[in-house]
Amino acid sequence: MNSLRARFSTNETLAGWTFALPALIGIAVFLILPIAFTFWISFTDWNGLSPPEQAEYVGMQNYRDLLTDPGVQRIDFATGIRNNLYYVLGVVPAQTTIAFALAVIVNQKFLRGRGFFRTAYYFPSITSSIAISIVFLFLFQRSGVINRLISVLLPGDVRLNWLDNADGIIHNILGWVGVDSAPAALADNDFMGLSLWQWLSGPSVTLFSIMILVTWTTIGTMMLIFLAGLQNIPPDVEEAGVVDGTSALQRFWYITVPLMKSPLFFVLTIGLISTWQVFDQIFVISSGGPQKTTLTPAFLVYREGFRNFSMGRATAIAFLLFLLIIVLTIIQRRIIKPERA
């Protein structure tokens, strides 16, 4: 008996490994090895041109260039983080709340043309981001539709150059209330090579335009996820609320929102990850300009790796970005605490 069981279990182990092998090979080749290779590259000075085994080990130098050693690399990295931070702070809440609101609206049973609205809102999400970016280039031109629309609605002829304007929005707002140059306390103190005044610039007008674009294109997908979540809420819960004499607003806040915690966490997480990786729109519209105000870590990876031939530094940026996303996701998880299914 014992020997039989032993033999049986060996066979089981073998069979288990055999069945798992194709998947394991796939994961190793396409996931683990590339990540390990990239991690190793980030400690070398590989230029991306010669065979990688010729690269020299430089220790933490790439990371030091980005984080501690004063210089243009650190300034660019800090600028990228600053730009992307404003981008995330703008896009994630906007896309989440708008998508949630839209999902609630198109989930109404009595809404006419529900199918049309669902399709219309989802449409931008399935269109190529490059194509949409090019359309936005025209919309936001000086003589484009956006400026004409504003000129019609507001007095005066607005000829704002949306996609080539480096003025920070917070700086602009401060300018309206009379603060148009940096107070000494902000100008003289710096963090990672950028003065506090520069950190507080807000997104530039160009980055802000890109934020509008991205919000508009992503709400469709987010709406779809929320819609699926809303349809999972059993109608009797809502009916029980009605029987208990609650108002529609109370039902929304005390029934719908708590039951939507899982989709909300999901949407926020994808939102956070994708906004920290923004690249396509910036590549097409502004290439990091004007005046580095649309530089993001993901774009820096491209610039360093493929234009500056510093693959080592590019991979170091990629790993720092990865760390940043992990940390932020963990923090977000602590705050929202999704229900375990």
Partner 1 sequence: MQIRTPQRRRARIAALAGSIALLAAACGGSDFDDGDDAADDGAEPTGEAPAEGVELTLMGWSSSPAEDDALNAIISSYNEQSENTVQFNPVPEYDTALQAALAGGTPPDVIYIDSNRLPDLVEAGALAPAEGNVEDDGDFYESLRNTFTYDGTFWCPPKDFSTLALVYNVDMFEEAGLEPPTTWEDLAAAAEALTDGDRVGLAIAPEYPRWGVFMFQAGGAVTNEDVTEMAIDSDANREALGYLEELYANGYAATPTDLDAGWAGEAFGQQRAAMTIEGNWIVGAMNNDFPDVNWAVAELPAGPAGQGTFVFTVCYGVPSASQNPEAAWDLVNYLVSPDSLIEFTGQFPVMPGRESLAGDWTDAHPELGPFLSGADYARPFQFVPGFQAVVDTLNDGIQGIAAGNRDVDEVIRQVDEAGQAELGG
Identified binder of partner 1 from the candidate list 127, 232, 258, 307, rule CB under 8 A? 307
* One character per residue 184-213, x = contact with partner 1 (rule: CB under 8 A): ------------------------------
Region of 189 please: left (phi>0), alpha (psi -120 to 50) or beta: beta
State yes or no: cis peptide before 290, omega within 30 of 0.
Answer: yes
Q: 194 - beta bridge partners?
A: 191
Q: 190 - beta bridge partners?
A: 195
User: Of 8-16, 137-145, 209-217, 229-237, which segment contacts partner 1 by CB under 8 A?
Assistant: 137-145
Closest distance to partner 1 from the beta carbon of 302 (Å): 9
For position 80 contacting partner 1 by CB under 8 A, the verdict is no
For position 73 contacting partner 1 by CB under 8 A, the verdict is yes
For position 246 contacting partner 1 by CB under 8 A, the verdict is no
Nearer to partner 1 (CB atom), residue 117 or residue 283:
283
Identified binder of partner 1 from the candidate list 23, 143, 184, 185, rule CB under 8 A? 143
Closest distance to partner 1 from the beta carbon of 146 (Å): 13
Nearer to partner 1 (CB atom), residue 89 or residue 182:
182
- DSSP-derived 3-state class of residue 57: strand
For position 71 contacting partner 1 by CB under 8 A, the verdict is yes
Q: Which of 13, 16, 215 is nearest to 121 (CA)?
A: 215
For position 261 contacting partner 1 by CB under 8 A, the verdict is no
Residue 57 C-alpha from the chain's centroid: 32
For position 309 contacting partner 1 by CB under 8 A, the verdict is yes
CA neighbours closer than 13 Å in the CB half-sphere of residue 290: 13
Closest distance to partner 1 from the beta carbon of 72 (Å): 4
Q: How far is the first Cα of the chain from the last one, in angstroms, to the nearest whole number?
A: 41
Residue 139 C-alpha from the chain's centroid: 23
Residue whose token pair is 């194709």: 22
For position 292 contacting partner 1 by CB under 8 A, the verdict is yes
Q: Which of 206, 212, 202 is nearest to 82 (CA)?
A: 202
Identified binder of partner 1 from the candidate list 16, 26, 34, 70, rule CB under 8 A? 70
Question: What does the alpha-carbon distance between residue 45 and residue 64 come to, in Å, rounded to a whole number?
Answer: 13
Closest distance to partner 1 from the beta carbon of 260 (Å): 40
Q: How many CB atoms lie within 10 A of CB 333?
A: 13
For position 165 contacting partner 1 by CB under 8 A, the verdict is yes
Q: How many CB atoms lie within 10 A of CB 35?
A: 12
User: Of 71-79, 208-216, 238-246, 329-337, which segment contacts partner 1 by CB under 8 A?
Assistant: 71-79
158 token code pair: 């607005």
For position 166 contacting partner 1 by CB under 8 A, the verdict is yes
Q: Site residues (CB under 8 A) for partner 1?
A: 47-52, 54, 70-73, 75-76, 141-144, 161, 163-167, 288-292, 303-304, 306-310
